[in-house]
């Protein structure tokens, strides 16, 4: 007690630490990048749209033709190979047309960028003129000097010039272009340059904008509609001026959605930049008090509805004061942040991919276009959502309070779906939700949710380890990298999966999951995330102090790490789960015994891949549910560890059974489950939200990890039929079930084609009636064409375009029908105009379009005939007639579903032909000991009990048949095996040897046609229309018979036609 008798003063409470939220790049920076991406995306969008409006017919015709060619070249390749080869062949063929489309897209983006630059550089002059701004008058030089002094303390090498407006100006603002910034102050403030309570805070606020380089971009965001509105109006104007307005409605709603997102982003960044400037000004003044005093003078807005608040360009003063008091409030990552970033990333992805493809054309690696698009779109999300979540995790450790990833995760999920739905690529297709497989929308949404939660979980781990970092830059650069990697991987995988599904459905998609998915970028992503998680686990320590770079003010305190996870808590569960998975694999191997066929070996291998991946995903799920907040991040390390353990177990078993350990096998065994495990982990990561806010956690995780791993791998084993069944292996096994399915699909399409023909016949009837009417003049004839021909023809075209072909082969054939109907529609539109204007050139153009339509119709006929023949259906003949109205007779034209047969009776052309083969099996003996030869000539002797054969699967083996003279060939066929029953033993050689499932017929005129076969020892033929002097039969696929008779035979070849 003091001598005076008074109590000693109570110790002052420790100053509440004030986190430096600007240690990370501010949210405004991310939003600016998203805004610029939005502007350029709008340009890509408009450019592509203009192309579609002006040149879609030409482009579509090229696409249809190239699809046909690609189908002919690759029709009978195994499923996944065929899908990839068909896509590559088609892409090569239409490269020029795609380049032109890409040029339009890039041009649109360039126009958007140029418009933005024009606005950016024009705005300062416009502002100065409209607001009558001028430099300070003599007598106010001290004000300029004070601004310069404050600029120096703010770190600006070049102070902005001080400008004054009229007496009516009552607010301050900054404007200008880089290097020529200005601050315009109200006169009432400028004359009070001595006032440290008014002048300094206001000027420091404006200087903060200049220092952050957000002035020019902010004015661009403020004025974006001067650039964007004209751009978005171009397709609208083009559409209104053209006769085709069928997709105008489609364009309008997508544009409206894009416009809303752009406005939301623009308003959000203008609001957040004010907080940034307030905080920077406060930091420069040693505390928020002075700035808060000025903010308190800001006029209060009235109460606005929630949607007006979203569109406000200024945060309300109460919010600004709250943020000045508690800066951590500005680190919240909102639903809107997730929605806008994800929407733009998804919308932009196919546009970037389309442009990238043109640059990669010819390199054979056009598949890298998706990688390029992912590398650009991923950082949009990584730099906004990812960075924001990591910042929030750090700041909340200082300020207290939880991070809430659920809203932003939901926003990302919604943004992914919206971006997919609004994709320009789906305009006018009628595809539900923008995808041909609507369940993909749910997968996309789940992936968005999971990627966000995974990023947030890793952010929590890195927040634990923050004291180990000396500078903030290390922390936020890792945050940016990790977020970008996660979202890029998810975007790439979703796009790649969608392609696989589109090409050939679930069968190819599940094969994709265990092969194509394991690309080196995906493995790189797995490794990067594992390293990030591992480092954070190792670097976090108990008893660490708040890093200095994270504190703006206040004393450093103990860094909260009571809930931190030790490396052992990641490794032990991973080992437990991995051992369970390895044990299951060993069990399967022991129970199934030796695998004799290649197909069985491959099926088992893929099952092991799924087992290892499931074990890894089970780790992520376990940790997500049992370790609040951090568990999902720990799973990024524990999951791959568990998968690796299972892979090691598989390698050990393989080695123990005498299998080799070559590099390719080891690499495949490791790569495939790691990549699949990452995607499965992302899909289960949303479970982390269920436990996010819990505080309790189990002391030991490994029992639950082992149990869940066991459940997961057993589920995989139990469901392996759906995941890895033999039919998924790319050797068409045929069999009755597959044949029946193919037959059903083709039958259905044949019925559709018949309907098309019937409806077109009605159009032809109308055309003939108009042509026969000689009493009407040109304008009247044009009116009848518009009413009686074009109306039903457009309806037919619309229905044909809306038709969803069930298989790629049918889709390729159907494209020709659509192309024909488009050409016919355009032809009759031109014809009607020609009759109205009596323009000879228009008549000629109409005739040219009619001819084009007939060519597409012929291609449709041929394609449909091949489909029917391949499915074993009879080919019927039919003709249709269409004439130019006004002519006495019509020409044969129009789409017809069947081909015509040759008028001359066909004869067998092989009687005097010669056959040669690329390889022949050695002679053998039959069961009585008689020698048997398998020369190529056996295929032409008409005796099914003799055959040519080659050792092994026969893939790639060729039999060439040289005709004595060029002939018009109308039919080809063969017996797809050895149609012999041994006369002594009665053994069926057909079943013993391999049977051919598919061949490719090559003709000397360049035609290539594929054919598939039923498993029957009979001659099976398909119709063709070629003129050739030789024919090659290339074996594409076979099915095995008795392992002791591993030969591929052909008993007879038939070539029918007329010389």
Q: Which residues bind another protein (CB under 8 A)?
A: 137, 139-140, 164, 166-175, 186-192, 194, 198, 202, 205-206, 215, 218-219, 222, 270, 274, 294-295, 297-299, 313-314, 317
Q: Are 15 and 554 in contact (CB under 8 A)?
A: yes
| Rounded Cα–Cα distance for residues 824 and 851 (Å) | 9
For residues 139 and 1006, which CB has a smaller minimum distance to another protein in the complex? 139
Which tokens belong to 1044?
Answer: 């002791």
Shorter beta-carbon distance to another protein: residue 165 or 732: 165
For residues 680 and 844, give the distance between their C-alpha atoms in angstroms, rounded to a whole number.
Answer: 60
DSSP state of 5: S
Least distance CB 293 / another protein (angstroms): 12
Residues facing 882 on adjacent strands: 891
Helix (H) or strand (E) holding 152: helix 141-153
Residue given tokens 């922390």 in the structure block: 475
Closer residue to another protein in complex, CB, 189/959: 189
Which of residues 314 and 473 has its CB atom nearest to another protein in the complex? 314
Least separation in angstroms between CB 171 and another protein: 4
d(CA 805, CA 809): 9
* CA 999 vs CA 468, 602, 904: distances in Å: 65, 24, 27
The nearest distance, CB 119 to another protein, in angstroms, is 14
**Cα 883–Cα 886–Cα 887 angle in degrees, nearest 5:** 55
Rank residues 215 and 821 by Cβ distance to another protein and give the closer one: 215
Rounded least distance, CB 377 to another protein, Å: 29
Instruction: Quote the least distance from Cβ 188 to another protein, whole Å.
Output: 4
- In sequence order, what E strands does 989-1019 have? 995-1003, 1008-1012
CB of 274 to another protein, least distance (A): 8
CA distances from 774 to 583, 669, 885 (A): 87, 77, 10
Q: Helix or strand or coil: residue 1036?
A: strand
Closer CB to another protein, 139 or 155, in the complex: 139
Sequence-distant (6+) residues with CB within 8 A of 1052 are: 939, 940, 941, 942, 943, 944, 947, 974, 975, 979, 1019
Q: Where are the alpha helices (DSSP H) in 285-334?
A: 289-295, 306-310, 317-325
Residue 451's closest CA among 347, 343, 349, 342? 342
Nearer to another protein, 164 or 869 (CB): 164
CB neighbour list of residue 728: distance below 8 Å, 6 or more residues apart: 507, 510, 511, 606
Q: What's the closest the beta carbon of residue 136 comes to another protein, in angstroms?
A: 9
Q: How far is the CB of 190 from another protein (least distance, A)?
A: 8
Structure tokens that stand for 855 in this block:
């060519």
| Residue 297 vs 363, nearer CB to another protein | 297
Closest by alpha carbon to 344, among 32, 37, 657? 37
User: Which residues have CB under 8 Å from 385's CB, separation 6+?
Assistant: 333, 337, 338, 341, 342, 408, 412, 452, 455, 483, 487
Number of H helices, E strands in the chain: 31, 19
| Nearest distance in Å: CB 124, another protein | 12
Q: Which residue is associated with the tokens 């039999």?
A: 959
Among residues 313 and 429, whose Cβ is nearest to another protein?
Answer: 313
Least distance CB 339 / another protein (angstroms): 23
* Residue 494 vs residues 488, 499, 514, 642: alpha-carbon distances, Å: 10, 9, 15, 24
Q: Residue 205 CB, nearest distance to another protein (Å)?
A: 6
CB-nearer residue toward another protein: 202 or 681: 202
Report the distance separating Cα 973 and Cα 976, nearest Å.
Answer: 9
Tell me the closest approach of the beta carbon of residue 33 to another protein, in angstroms: 19
The neighbour count for residue 338, using CB atoms within 10 Å, is 29
- Residues whose CB is less than 8 angstroms from the CB of residue 410 and which lie 6 or more positions away in sequence, other chains included: 335, 338, 449
Nearer to another protein, 39 or 140 (CB): 140
Contacts of 236 (CB under 8 A, 6+ apart): 248, 251, 252, 255
State the minimum distance, in angstroms, from the CB of residue 291 to another protein: 10
> Are 211 and 195 spatial neighbours (Cβ–Cβ below 8 Å)?
no
Q: Of the two residues 189 and 339, which places its CB atom closer to another protein in the complex?
A: 189
Q: Give 186 or 235: the residue with its C-beta nearer to another protein.
A: 186
Give, in degrees to the nearest 5, the angle at Cα 949 between 728 and 1002. 70
What's the min distance (Å) between Cβ of 320 and another protein? 8
* Four-residue CA torsion sign, 390, 394, 399, 404: positive
Cβ-based nearer residue to another protein, 210 or 674: 210
Q: Least distance from C-beta 192 to another protein, angstroms?
A: 6
**CA-based radius of gyration for the chain:** 36
Closest distance of CB 687 from another protein, Å: 43
Closest to another protein by CB, 218 vs 1050, is 218
* C-alpha–C-alpha distance, residues 138 and 357, integer Å: 61
3-state SS of 446-487?
Answer: HHHHHHHHHHHHHHHHHHHCHHHCCCHHHHHHHHHHHHHHHH
Q: Which is nearer to another protein, 165 or 534 (CB)?
A: 165
Q: How far is the CB of 433 from another protein (least distance, A)?
A: 36
Is the CB of 194 or the CB of 657 nearer to another protein?
A: 194
Distance, in Å, from the CA atom of 175 to the CA atom of 173, rounded to the nearest integer, reads 7
CB closer to another protein out of 220 and 618? 220
d(CA 916, CA 948): 10
Shortest Å distance, C-beta 172 to another protein: 5
């Amino acid at each position: 007690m003091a001598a005076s008798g008074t109590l000693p003063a109570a110790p002052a409470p420790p100053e509440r630490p004030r986190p430096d939220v600007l240690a990370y790049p501010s949210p405004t920076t991310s939003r600016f990048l998203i805004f610029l991406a939005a502007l350029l995306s709008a340009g890509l969008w408009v450019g592509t749209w203009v192309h579609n409006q002006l040149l879609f017919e030409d482009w579509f015709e090229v696409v249809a033709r190239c699809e046909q060619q690609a189908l002919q070249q690759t029709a009978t390749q195994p499923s996944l190979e065929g899908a990839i080869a068909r896509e590559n062949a088609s892409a090569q063929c239409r490269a020029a047309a795609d380049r032109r489309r890409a040029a339009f897209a890039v041009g649109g983006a360039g126009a958007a960028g140029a418009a933005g630059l024009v606005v950016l550089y024009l705005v300062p002059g416009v502002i100065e003129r409209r607001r009558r701004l001028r430099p300070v008058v003599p007598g106010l030089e001290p004000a300029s000097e004070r601004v310069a002094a404050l600029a120096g303390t703010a770190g600006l090498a070049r102070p902005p010039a001080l400008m004054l407006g009229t007496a009516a100006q009552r607010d301050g603002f900054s404007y200008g272009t880089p290097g020529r910034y200005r601050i315009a102050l109200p006169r009432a403030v400028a004359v009070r340059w001595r006032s440290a309570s008014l002048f300094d805070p206001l000027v420091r606020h404006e200087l903060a904008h200049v220092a952050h380089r957000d002035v020019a971009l902010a004015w661009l965001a403020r004025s974006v509609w001067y650039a964007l509105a004209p751009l978005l109006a171009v397709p609208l104007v083009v559409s209104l001026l053209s006769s085709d307005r069928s997709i105008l409605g489609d364009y309008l709603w997508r544009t409206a959605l894009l416009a809303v997102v752009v406005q939301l982003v623009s308003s959000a960044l203008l609001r957040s930049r004010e907080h940034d400037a307030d905080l920077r000004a406060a930091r420069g003044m040693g505390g928020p008090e002075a700035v808060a005093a000025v903010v308190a003078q800001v006029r209060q807005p009235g109460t606005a509805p929630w949607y007006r608040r979203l569109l406000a360009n200024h945060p309300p003063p109460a919010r600004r004061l709250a943020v000045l008091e508690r800066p951590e409030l500005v680190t919240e990552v909102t639903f809107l942040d997730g929605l806008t970033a994800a929407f733009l990333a998804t919308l932009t992805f196919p546009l970037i991919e389309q442009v990238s493809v043109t640059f990669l054309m010819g390199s054979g690696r056009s598949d890298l276009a998706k990688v390029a698009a992912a590398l650009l779109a991923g950082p949009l999300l990584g730099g906004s959502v990812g960075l924001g979540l990591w910042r929030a995790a750090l700041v909340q450790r200082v300020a207290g309070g939880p991070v809430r990833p659920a809203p932003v995760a939901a926003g990302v999920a919604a943004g992914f779906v919206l971006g997919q739905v609004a994709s320009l690529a789906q305009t006018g297709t009628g595809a539900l939700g923008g995808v041909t497989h609507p369940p993909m929308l749910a997968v996309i949404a789940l992936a968005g949710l999971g990627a966000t939660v995974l990023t947030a979980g890793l952010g929590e781990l890195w927040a634990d380890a923050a004291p180990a970092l000396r500078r903030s830059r290390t922390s936020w650069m890792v945050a940016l990298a990790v977020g970008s990697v996660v979202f890029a991987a998810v975007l790439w995988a979703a796009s790649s999966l969608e392609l696989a599904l589109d090409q050939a459905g679930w069968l190819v998609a599940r094969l994709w999951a265990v092969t194509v998915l394991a690309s080196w970028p995906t493995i790189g992503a797995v490794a990067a995330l594992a390293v990030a998680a591992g480092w954070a686990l190792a670097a976090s320590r108990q008893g660490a102090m708040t890093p200095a770079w994270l504190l703006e003010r206040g004393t450093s305190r103990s860094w909260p790490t009571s809930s931190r996870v030790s490396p052992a808590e990641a490794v032990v569960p991973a080992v437990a789960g991995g051992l369970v998975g390895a044990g299951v694999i060993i069990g399967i191997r022991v129970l199934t015994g030796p695998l004799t066929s290649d197909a069985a070996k491959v099926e088992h291998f893929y099952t092991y891949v799924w087992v290892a991946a499931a074990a890894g995903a089970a780790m992520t799920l376990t940790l997500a549910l049992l370790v609040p907040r951090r568990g999902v991040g720990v799973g990024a390390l524990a999951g791959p560890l568990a998968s690796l353990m299972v892979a090691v177990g598989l390698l050990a078993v393989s080695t123990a059974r005498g299998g080799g350990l070559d590099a390719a096998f080891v690499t495949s065994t490791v790569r495939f489950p790691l990549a699949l495990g990452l995607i499965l982990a992302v899909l289960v990561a949303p479970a982390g939200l269920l436990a996010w806010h819990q505080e309790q956690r189990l002391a030991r995780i490994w029992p639950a990890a082992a149990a869940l791993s066991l459940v997961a791998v057993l589920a995989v084993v139990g469901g392996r039929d759906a995941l890895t069944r033999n039919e998924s292996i790319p050797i068409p096994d045929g069999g009755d079930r597959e044949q029946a399915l193919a037959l059903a699909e083709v039958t259905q399409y044949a019925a559709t084609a018949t309907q098309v023909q019937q409806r077109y016949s009605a159009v032809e009837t109308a055309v003939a009636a108009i042509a026969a009417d000689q009493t009407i003049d040109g304008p009247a004839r044009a009116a009848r064409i518009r009413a009686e021909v074009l109306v039903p023809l457009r309806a037919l075209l619309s229905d044909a375009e809306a038709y969803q072909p069930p298989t790629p082969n049918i889709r390729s054939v159907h494209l020709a029908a659509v192309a024909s109907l488009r050409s016919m529609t355009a032809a009759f539109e031109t014809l009607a105009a020609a009759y109205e204007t009596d323009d000879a050139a228009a008549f000629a153009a109409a005739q040219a379009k009619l001819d084009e339509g007939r060519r597409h119709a012929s291609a449709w006929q041929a394609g449909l005939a091949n489909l029917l023949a391949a499915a074993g259906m009879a080919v019927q003949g039919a003709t249709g007639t269409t004439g130019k109205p006004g002519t006495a007779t019509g020409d044969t034209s129009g789409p017809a579903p069947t081909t015509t047969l040759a008028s001359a009776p066909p004869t067998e052309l092989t009687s005097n032909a010669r056959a040669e083969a690329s390889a022949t099996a050695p002679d053998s003996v039959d069961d009585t000991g008689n020698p048997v030869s398998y020369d190529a000539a056996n295929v032409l002797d008409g005796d099914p009990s003799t055959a040519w054969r080659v050792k092994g699967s026969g893939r790639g083996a060729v039999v060439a048949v040289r005709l004595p003279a060029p002939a018009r060939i109308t039919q080809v066929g063969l017996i797809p095996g050895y149609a012999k029953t041994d006369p002594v033993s009665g053994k069926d050689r057909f079943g013993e040897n391999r049977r051919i499932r598919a061949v490719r017929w090559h003709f000397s005129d360049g035609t290539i046609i594929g054919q598939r076969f039923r498993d029957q020892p009979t001659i099976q033929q398909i119709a063709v229309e070629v003129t050739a002097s030789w024919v090659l039969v290339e074996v594409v696929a076979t099915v095995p018979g008795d392992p002791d008779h591993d030969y591929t035979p052909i008993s007879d070849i038939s070539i029918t036609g007329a010389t």
